[in-house]
Chains A and B, each alone.
Chain A
């Protein structure tokens, strides 16, 4: 049902007009279809109003490739995430995704505030490897891809207290010293001032100078994974049940296997995702503070999903 198209229209119109043209060309009148395109970052993005249609047209050079999918077939289970196109191509697919289509309408009706489905958000951070880390540690991945926001944090030298067999020992450590307002680090809520940095992209920072740690972070800034010891240990996930594996992760409801060492390149199931940028609860997911902590943080894409316009090239 994927129909990659090379459209070379030279007349401008609005989304509705364009939609009709497509239906005519492809003889799919009566079928509800989803239009999608890939932006410069390789992200799969929807075309469902005038504004994002224009955006798509303006970015298209020389041709706009449109993917037409029949609604309901796979359609709304798509999360418009970074590199979603590649992922789909790689077959890393979206197993275990729970369709959330109906919830969109529901929320619209209930709150009156329009908020897109989780799949229309871009992942900006995640907690990973929950099942293999000690509960006092947290491994956070910040996604810089495509975002204009700064990472927005500063680090400093400090003294860390370690418990050793010989007793308490003071060792030099590196800490987060400042979060920039509305930077990625702050908006995730996963990092805080005075969190101790233990690892950068898997490399232990013990014994490294502040400048070394800075250089490592800058070098990894496009895909930064920091393991921190949060200064505030109150919101830690208490080990649930007997052993570590499931209980630690946020997979409370679904029993899925996110957070395993292997799967962190695939997006975590949407069911577990809560956009904490908005304080709204999405129906279908019982949001608790623990889930907030452990699951994904999403940032709404500038898609303007609910306005309408016209144009074509």
Chain B
């Protein structure tokens, strides 16, 4: 028996096997829009689109669900991407002047939890190339690559450089054809003297292959000269002596003319007629937004169409003075002219058009614009050029994400209604075009269940996303701003006028895209969300203390929203709220579209940000907490059941509100982000790395090092009057035993920042009526919910309470409301004693109920120095055994690692590194699903999806039909670490074993292990004998009998109570 007690965990091979079948860590897919995109490419043959980012990632998208990710070794910005059409290969040009060749290969079969998984296609880098510097020339800028051109034959890559030379690389071997190199001198020789005037031609700005005659390329130099170069004959066929600084070139399909765009905001059409060596003037030259000075047209496309006039698409060219700060792309055909006005910078764009050589016209069907913050697709076939909703790459951050909530296995009925409501929202802008980028085949099995991800945003909206598969698709958007009077109400009805104005306005702007980072009123921000998927009730709570209960309705409705005010200060003297005002509710009935419609608005006073919310739909109760206290509201009877102030008398910070000192850090962070954003927007086309800037950089780094003052940390136990100690961190409803061991009933639990836990016994009419009768029928007549303070627990270490959950007699978490009563889950064990799991930032602890005596604990911080940030109870299913599953406690720490514990034993199982510890917002944004997956923000616009379960994974699994054979190549050996698209990730390292070795096997073991030789173990012993397990101060308000006469420990408690600390 003793042997059993002392046997350390992790040595049991049986258990190790089970652990391997249950747990496995994988980062599976990234949802949302890539952060800081910097390059775009399209493969018309395979119908695949590639996006490169500033962190060196390449992401390929095809049909929804088809996704490939590659990450360069260096986190250097990808400046250009070029597909080798049909081959499943692509070339990327990085900011460090290197070319990389990537290939789609069949991935290795991966072993997960003992079972082999079918490997899909993945993206792999196969080769890279750096252009050698020219001998004798010191500066590397001469061979800095500016443009790449891949010939249609796919065997030659032309490279234009800063120095004006054009180099040729053989593909796919990436070998320089030395003798082919075309230096600027060769071109200058053939120039007329008056054009030459001794100046250099400048960098190569554009390279374009002749659409009809292979082997001829158009070379455009910055100074304005355009040369039609014959590769075979190695001489200039024609010279176009442009005088305006060149930005880009594009051929017309027939090759009879080309268009050049310039930095003065104009474009010129040049005819190409053979036999004419010099062309001095273009056929036509236009400055579309002139006559006042305009900004450059960065890129221009000219697409012919069957209907007659060509479609002209160009970015930029706006009048410098009046609209120089706009990010615009113009579409022009005949008289039709639209200036698409985006909220973020245009990175690149392309059209999807007819590429078959035997067709006479381009007939563009869609325009794809990559912006800094979103992807916009315009349907060019439907009159009016409407926007096409994207099935993926949705800008999650259209307004900053403030919170998220996940719901697993959504009932089909709710799912259908949500989709309908979402469809109704989008009906205005309906196009019938299907998604044009549809390459590849999604092999991932159809998700067994529907999953919803809800994101709350700064502008008061809640977005519903389909998170069932690889592509995160928007379903439905809920706005809460219309519950209140806001400044933006007024211009609402003037939308018709705006249309009128737009017609007269020049340029003809049209707002496109949904990225809008600036919130009208920060108080509208959503802080907490809770949804009951069975009763379709939703609770959202916001920054100004507003808690809104919504119900789903398929019909539009005009109604006013009931409002209740709950004063959480409870007449505490001496507090004045210095923060923001509450939002002014709209008193008149307002129209609400189909979907979730607000029913009740509960306003907390003071209107501080809501920090916790809980919903129990069976009891019709919501609980909400702020930095001042918590309240309980019966939304069925519309009355406040309870308001409890948790404020410490000395806490002055709590009254200042989120917009003052507390949030000042966040505010300043936001400001600096905006500054970065701004500087990015105004960034140059190409950053030039001059030696001087490098010196400056080094100097700055040095200065920074000197400035760093040694950081000090104070070592002091937490005290009761620390600031913001009253913040309510978590709330939880449970049907459990609080009064005594035989009668269970509704309870409410609340935990605060200072380690206090309050437990209330609730009297809900119609619930647990048997017990009510037993108690003498006193409450039979009562028709409203009552709350009675049952217990107050003060955790001795006073660390913030992160989560509270009640475990049933088998040690399993209690099911959600309606799950048990409707036979949707196994009924909880109400025959054996329940326990409550309280997770603080420092410790995990299980207490028995109803006596609240400590059963087990795990002191995470004392051992690891990390703090608990997020906690969830998760059901893990075995990958090997069909019917085996286990509940585990998942715990994310401030160091970004995941710890898994058994419940209720709290034995550590596995630890995985997940998020970089510097990524505070990533750690703060993490949400877990109920079956072992999770999401966290890797950038403001992207969720990383990860899985801790060996069985349940949502990852891209897809195939692509290529021109070349796609065999499992030998190049694909070595450890297949899943590439991380965001280059800043930490490599994931599973540490399934070893970790558990060092943790004490049983903290409550009365006989400590005492290897006398080791100094460490003896100190471990001191850890365990502090007797802290019993020191928690538990005050019981329901037990009246003093059963503890001669027990000295209880004597101490009595005296502690008499010391005069509170009680109602």
Contact = CB atoms under 8 A, between A and B. Distances in A.
Interface of A: 38-42, 59-62, 65, 85-86, 89, 129, 132-133, 139, 141, 144, 150-158, 177-178, 199-205, 208-225, 227, 261-262, 264-265
Interface residues of B, number: 46
A156 B1015 contact: no
B865 A215 contact: yes
Interface stretch (B345-353, B420-428, B615-623, B707-715): B707-715
Contacts of A265: 1022, 1025
B1028 A177 contact: no
A199 B715 contact: no
Interface string B1032-1064: 000000000000000010011011101100000
Interface string B706-727: 0000111111111000000000
B865 A220 contact: no
Interface string B766-780: 000000000000000
Contacts of A215: 842, 861, 865-867
Interface in B779-812: 796-797, 799
Contacts of B1052: 38, 40-42
A65 B1051 contact: yes
Nearest to B708: A157
A141 B865 CA distance: 19
B716 A151 contact: yes
A177 B713 CA distance: 9
Given A40-B1055, A216-B862, A202 B1018 contact: yes
Contacts of A212: 864-866, 895
Interface in B188-209: none
14 contacts: A38-B1051, A85-B1048, A156-B713, A202-B1022, A203-B1019, A211-B894, A214-B715, A216-B861, A216-B864, A218-B715, A218-B716, A219-B797, A221-B715, A227-B1015
A301 B1018 CA distance: 30
Contacts of B843: 219
Contact of A202 (B865, B866, B1015): B1015
B865 A211 contact: yes
A222 B796 contact: yes
Contacts of A262: 1010, 1012, 1018
A301 B1005 CA distance: 34
A141 B1018 CA distance: 13
Nearest to A262: B1010
Contact of A261 (B866, B1018, B1051): B1018
A265 B1027 CA distance: 11
Interface of B: 710-718, 796-797, 799, 842-843, 859, 861-867, 894-895, 1010, 1012, 1015-1023, 1025-1026, 1028, 1048, 1051-1052, 1054-1056, 1058-1059
A262 B1056 CA distance: 31
Nearest to A204: B1016
A203 B863 contact: yes
A135 to B, nearest CB: 13
Contact of A177 (B710, B717, B1017, B1019): B710
Contact of A129 (B867, B894, B1015, B1026): B1015
Contacts of A153: 714-715
Nearest to B1045: A6
A24 B216 CA distance: 123
A244 to B, nearest CB: 12
Tell me the dominant secondary structure on chain B's binding face: mixed
Given A156-B710, A219-B842, A202 B715 contact: no
Given A203-B863, A261-B1010, A89 B1048 contact: yes
Contacts of A221: 715-718
Contacts of A61: 1054-1055, 1058
Given A38-B1052, A129-B1019, A223-B1022, 20 more contacts: A40-B1052, A59-B1055, A61-B1058, A132-B1015, A154-B714, A154-B715, A203-B1016, A210-B713, A211-B894, A212-B866, A214-B713, A215-B865, A215-B866, A218-B842, A221-B715, A223-B1028, A225-B1019, A261-B1018, A262-B1010, A265-B1025
A195 to B, nearest CB: 13
Given A61-B1058, A262-B1010, A208 B1051 contact: no
A37 to B, nearest CB: 10
A219 B800 CA distance: 12
Nearest to A39: B1055
Contacts of A208: 865
Given A40-B1055, A65-B1051, A177-B710, A151 B715 contact: yes
A145 to B, nearest CB: 10
Tell me the dominant secondary structure on chain A's binding face: mixed
Contacts of A157: 710-711
Given A38-B1052, A65-B1051, A222 B1015 contact: no
A219 B859 contact: yes
Nearest to B714: A154
A220 B1019 contact: no
Contacts of B867: 215
A5 to B, nearest CB: 13
B711 A219 contact: no
A86 B1051 CA distance: 12
A200 B712 CA distance: 17
A205 B1016 CA distance: 12
Top 3 A-B residue pairs of the complex, sorted by shortest distance between their CB atoms? A202-B1019, A212-B865, A61-B1058
Contacts of B842: 215, 218-219
Contacts of B1018: 129, 132, 202, 261-262
Contacts of A218: 715-718, 842, 861
Contacts of B1026: 222-223
A133 B711 contact: no
B716 A150 contact: yes
A210 B710 CA distance: 11
Nearest to B859: A219
Contacts of B1020: 202
B715 A261 contact: no
B1019 A155 contact: no
A100 to B, nearest CB: 27
Contacts of B861: 215-216, 218-219
Contacts of B864: 212, 216
Contact of A133 (B1015, B1054, B1058): B1015
Contacts of B718: 218, 221
A28 B711 CA distance: 64
A39 B1058 CA distance: 12
A59 B717 CA distance: 25
Which of A62, A141, A200, A220 has the most B CB atoms < 10 Å from its CB?
A: A220
A65 B1054 CA distance: 12
Contacts of B714: 153-154
A86 B718 CA distance: 25
Contacts of B1025: 265
A155 B712 contact: yes
Contacts of B1058: 59, 61-62
A58 to B, nearest CB: 10
A201 B1021 CA distance: 9
Nearest to A220: B862
Contacts of A214: 713, 715, 865
Nearest to A144: B717
Contacts of B895: 212
B1059 A219 contact: no
A138 to B, nearest CB: 12
